[in-house]
C-alpha cells in the first residue's frame, strides 16, 4: 500500500471532522455527508487521493464507486493533483462583455501556460459565472475571489503568485 495517507494526528483530525459532519444528518443517511466529506479531504490533502476516497466510502457506509461518481461530477473536486495555483477565470457573458477573454489571454501569456492545462505551478481554467457579473471581470485563485479586475490589479496578483 506504500505511504499511509495521513499522519496519526491528521488521521484523528479527519475522523473527528467526519464524525462532526455526520451529526448534521439523519442517522440512517450517512452517505448524505458526501460533499462535505470530500471537501474536508481535499482541504487536508489538496486533492482527492484514492486512499482518501476509500476512507470516505467506508466512513459513510457507501461504495468507492459512489464516491468516485460524485468526485468526478463536480468541477471543484480534484481527482488528480492540481498545480500550486488553481486559477478559475470566468469567461461567461457578463464578464466577456467586460474584457474576460482578453484577461484570460493576458494570463496565458504572463504565466506561460494555456487554459485547461494542469501544470505543476499553475492550473489555469475557464469557469462559468461566479455571481460577480456587475463586478466583472473576475477570477478565483485557490477559491479566493478577486473582482473588478484591471491589468494593474491582475499584475499585482500575478506578482504574488510568482514570488
Partner 1 sequence: MSVLAERVISRDWGREGQATLAVYKRHGGYEQLKKALKLTPAQVTEEVKKSNLRGRGGAGFPTGLKWTFVPSKEKNALPRYLAVNADESEPGTAKDRYILEYDPHLLLEGIGIACYALGAHTCYIYSRGEFKHPSAVLDQAIAEAYADGIFGDRAMGTEFSIEVTQVRGAGAYICGEETALLESLEGKKGWPRLKPPYPAVVGLFGCPTVVNNVETIASVPRIFEKGAEWFAGIGAGKSGGTRLVTVSGAVNRPGTFEVSMDTSLRELIYEYAYGQGLPPGRSVKAVIPGGSSAPVLTAAEIDTKLEFDAFKPVDSMAGSGGVMVMDDTTCLVRCLWRVARFYAEESCGQCTPCREGQPWMARLIRGIEEGRGRMEDIDTLLDVARGIAPFPPFGLGTTICALGDAGALPVQSFVSKFRGEFEAHIRLGGCPQGETPWGHFGEFR
Q: Where along the sequence are the contacts to partner 1 (CB under 8 A)?
A: 24, 26, 29, 31-36, 38-39, 60, 62, 66, 69-70, 73-77, 88, 91-94, 96-103, 105-106, 127-137, 140, 143-145, 150-151
Binding window for ligand FES (CB under 6 A); candidates: 13-21, 26-34, 47-55, 124-132: 124-132
The binding track of 57-96 with respect to ligand FES, each residue x by CB under 6 A or -, is: ---------------------------------x-xxxx-
The three-class DSSP label of residue 137 is coil
Degrees to nearest 5, angle at CA 50 with 45 and 54: 105
Cell of 151: 491589468
Binding window for ligand FES (CB under 6 A); candidates: 15-23, 59-67, 116-124, 125-133: 125-133
Q: What does the alpha-carbon distance between residue 50 and residue 44 come to, in Å, rounded to a whole number?
A: 14
Q: How far is the CB of 8 from partner 1 (least distance, A)?
A: 28
Q: How far is the CB of 159 from partner 1 (least distance, A)?
A: 17
DSSP 130: -
Indicate which single residue of 38, 57, 87, 130 sits in contact with ligand FES (rule: CB under 6 A): 130
Indicate which single residue of 35, 66, 115, 133 sits in contact with ligand FES (rule: CB under 6 A): 133
DSSP 40-100: HHHHHHSS--HHHHHHHHHHTTS-HHHHHHHHHHSTT--SSPPPSEEEEEE-SHHHHTTTH
- Residue 87: what are its φ and ψ, rounded to 5°? -115, 110
Amino acid at each position: 500500500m506504500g505511504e499511509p495517507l495521513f499522519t496519526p494526528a491528521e488521521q484523528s483530525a479527519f475522523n473527528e471532522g467526519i464524525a462532526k459532519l455526520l451529526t448534521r444528518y439523519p442517522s440512517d443517511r450517512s452517505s448524505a455527508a458526501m460533499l462535505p466529506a470530500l471537501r474536508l479531504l481535499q482541504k487536508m490533502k489538496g486533492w482527492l487521493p484514492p486512499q482518501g476516497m476509500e476512507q470516505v466510502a467506508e466512513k459513510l457506509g457507501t461504495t468507492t464507486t459512489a464516491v468516485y461518481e460524485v468526485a468526478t461530477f463536480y468541477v471543484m473536486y480534484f481527482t488528480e493533483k492540481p498545480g500550486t495555483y488553481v486559477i478559475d477565470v470566468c469567461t461567461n457573458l457578463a464578464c466577456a462583455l467586460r474584457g474576460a477573454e482578453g484577461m484570460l489571454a493576458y494570463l496565458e501569456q504572463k504565466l506561460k501556460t494555456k487554459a485547461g492545462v494542469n501544470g505543476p505551478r499553475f492550473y489555469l481554467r475557464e469557469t462559468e459565472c461566479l455571481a460577480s457579473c456587475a463586478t466583472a471581470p473576475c477570477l478565483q485563485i485557490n477559491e479566493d475571489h478577486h473582482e473588478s479586475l484591471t491589468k494593474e490589479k491582475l499584475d499585482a496578483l500575478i506578482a504574488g503568485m510568482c514570488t
